[in-house]
Chain A
């Protein structure tokens, strides 16, 4: 064990965050203020998510951290290393093995279970922020459930682009009441927010807000009757595992315009390749899930 208190934060801070979490779960979609702490990483690196994770962790937990779907990018590696050091919890890259999953910008493709918690890192929790800069006004709009500005924005999108062009951080309405920013997940992931068996917690460190979706919450993406919400993704199968049902990243492979589309969820892609699925550009499969990643 390290010189830090379990999971870095002191017990009083964790209690304070847990109280905020309880309130957030009691009022789905409502942004609960909390006294966000300085964390040993810069704002924008997931300080909100880290604090929520720290308040939820118990020694028996298995932690998975995703950054844009991947387990092996800087943000994911450093946060996983952080908790391995200050909480000494088991870590994993496999969605099915994890009890707490901290994520930045994605929801895993593998369906979640009731015994799992998904923690989102949120940069800007206020869905109305770029439509109404005054915090006093946005609070009033939430209090009175006056969300017409959101639809004005969608109207403008259709008038200008012929469709709703918002492709990430797509606003949702929770249980017919609060409009919520689902953090910058692609709108492809929006349908997974609703009716999800896992508890979903959202932490914004710089903005000092926590909100939550309890299991099996009704979540609707805002849209128009004649321009219904569409969860979109590149119209391709994954080049490595051949999956046609997962969200894809576009990877530029040279300076002559060549590109490939691969699953953004690295765990999902690896599991499929392990099961023998092959995409058009797949190399022979080597399982690296348990390999030591650079810390």
Chain B
């Protein structure tokens, strides 16, 4: 029996008197993909930001076990230590690739940056790693010196994924990774993500409002409404046999083509 990768206990974030998310407790195991679904304003992005350390939570605990088996409490760490942990163990995929990429820097520089941040100082090796990751995310090798602003939306998102994964993170946070893309591009991206997650044995927390995304990617699911987790369980179980009224509404709202 392995030990949990990430544990949260009563995680709460308030914006003044309003609730961002409240009392969220869950356990993420190595190699597991957790989906978080809910409508806009249900607190799923707030929860993800708290988990990734972008926002300080008001109450509750986060425990993370790193690749050396050491347990960290990101909330009580110094900023330098937390950023080092995030750099070495985590990755974050933003909904808008503009937030996760440097738009003025070439694709190769974007992929190389996390490597250089960890002390890689060999240009040839960085270049080689960038080329191999471009190939893995299905971007032509000869685009390596083009800036992301010359890329289409789907390519930008794939580039962002390459940049996130180049450092072999153990845990990936994804905020609506397929948002804003048209359906055929979404399908390719989902295919790619599923392949990468399975191949690399990644753990991931994926926030989305798109039930198809979690159906394809997530092992387990949490449904959020008004800042609270209203239902959680195995993805197929939650989607095929929703118990909570809100989940039933959510599942029945999906258009059938």
Interface residues of A (CB under 8 A from B): 144, 146, 148, 151-152, 155-156, 158-160, 223-227
Contacts and interface: CB of A to CB of B under 8 A. Distances in A.
Given A152-B102, A159-B106, A159-B108, A144 B80 contact: yes
Contact of A226 (B79, B112, B124, B144): B124
B83 A144 contact: yes
Interface in B95-110: 102, 105-106, 108-109
A155 B126 contact: yes
Nearest to B126: A155
Interface of B: 79-80, 83, 102, 105-106, 108-109, 112-113, 116-117, 121-124, 126-127, 144-145
Given A148-B117, A155-B112, A159-B144, 19 more contacts: A144-B83, A148-B113, A148-B116, A151-B121, A152-B112, A152-B113, A152-B116, A155-B108, A155-B126, A156-B105, A156-B109, A158-B123, A159-B106, A160-B106, A160-B145, A224-B121, A224-B122, A225-B122, A226-B124
Contact of A224 (B113, B123, B145): B123
Main secondary structure on B side of the interface with A = helix
Nearest to B104: A156
Nearest to B113: A152
Most buried by B among A144, A151, A158, A226: A151
Contacts, number: 45
Contact of A159 (B80, B109, B121): B109
A146 B123 contact: no
A151 B83 contact: no
A144 B116 contact: no
Nearest to A154: B123
Most buried by B among A144, A152, A223: A152
Contacts of A225: 121-123
A155 B145 contact: no
Nearest to B147: A156
B202 to A, nearest CB: 23
Nearest to B124: A226
Contacts of A227: 123
29 contacts: A144-B80, A144-B83, A146-B83, A146-B117, A151-B116, A151-B121, A152-B105, A152-B112, A152-B113, A152-B116, A155-B109, A155-B112, A155-B123, A156-B105, A156-B109, A159-B106, A159-B108, A159-B109, A159-B145, A160-B106, A160-B145, A223-B121, A224-B123, A225-B121, A225-B122, A225-B123, A226-B123, A226-B124, A227-B123
Nearest to A223: B121
A237 B80 CA distance: 50
A52 B127 CA distance: 44
Contacts of B126: 155
A172 B20 CA distance: 44
Nearest to B80: A144
B121 A152 contact: no
Which 8 pairs across A and B sit closest by C-beta, in order of nearness? A148-B117, A224-B123, A151-B116, A225-B122, A148-B116, A144-B80, A155-B109, A152-B109
